[in-house]
Amino acid sequence: MAHQDLTGVWLGLFSYPAYRRAGNFTATLIETTSTLTGSTSEIWASPPRVGETILAMLLGRRHGHDVRFTKTYEGPERPNHSVEYEGHLTDDFLEIEGRWFIPGNWAGRFLMIRSGGRAIEVAREAFERV
């Protein structure tokens, strides 16, 4: 089955500049005429909130195979904290790979895999090796 848009559930990995271990998130995307909306959830990995779930909203666009969106975290501990994502979609519409950045601050890599695509464990090993 060929996918025509990005609507669906995606499993994501992201790297921090100073750490070898990738963080992960789950994204639900909805694409309507090249506009992307959706949400993410991830597990907080740093003290003092280790293990807590963090939610964010997504808003962006897809132009051909180029994907750009802003992830804005929810909650009083991160008001208006946003992260920019720029990536490239594979021809089979199953993976998006690129970089995330906080303007003027720091950046890292990310990989998103459509649920039902390549196994996330295999992707994590390859992602962390680079």
CB 46 within 8 A of CB 20: no
Question: Would you say residue 94 lies in a domain?
Answer: yes
Q: Tell me, what's the pLDDT at 126?
A: 64
Q: Tell me, what's the pLDDT at 130?
A: 58
Per-residue model confidence as pLDDT tens digits over 19-34: 666 788 999 999 999 8
Q: How many domains does the chain have?
A: 1
Angle (CA) 9 21 85, round 5°:
45
Question: Would you say residue 42 lies in a domain?
Answer: yes
Structure-token match 């992960």, residue found: 24
Higher pLDDT, 16 or 107: 107
Q: Tell me, what's the pLDDT at 30?
A: 97
Q: Tell me, what's the pLDDT at 122?
A: 60
Q: Tell me, what's the pLDDT at 1?
A: 45
Question: Would you say residue 3 lies in a domain?
Answer: no
**Most confidently modeled range among 9-23, 81-95, 103-117:** 81-95
Residue 5 has pLDDT above 70, yes or no: yes
**Tell me, what amino acid is at 35?**
T
Q: Tell me, what's the pLDDT at 79?
A: 56
Question: Would you say residue 2 lies in a domain?
Answer: no
Question: Would you say residue 51 lies in a domain?
Answer: yes
Question: Would you say residue 79 lies in a domain?
Answer: yes
Higher pLDDT, 58 or 75: 58
CATH number, domain at 84? 2.40.128.120
Instruction: Name the residue range of residue 34's domain.
Output: 8-129
Question: Would you say residue 1 lies in a domain?
Answer: no
Question: Would you say residue 80 lies in a domain?
Answer: yes
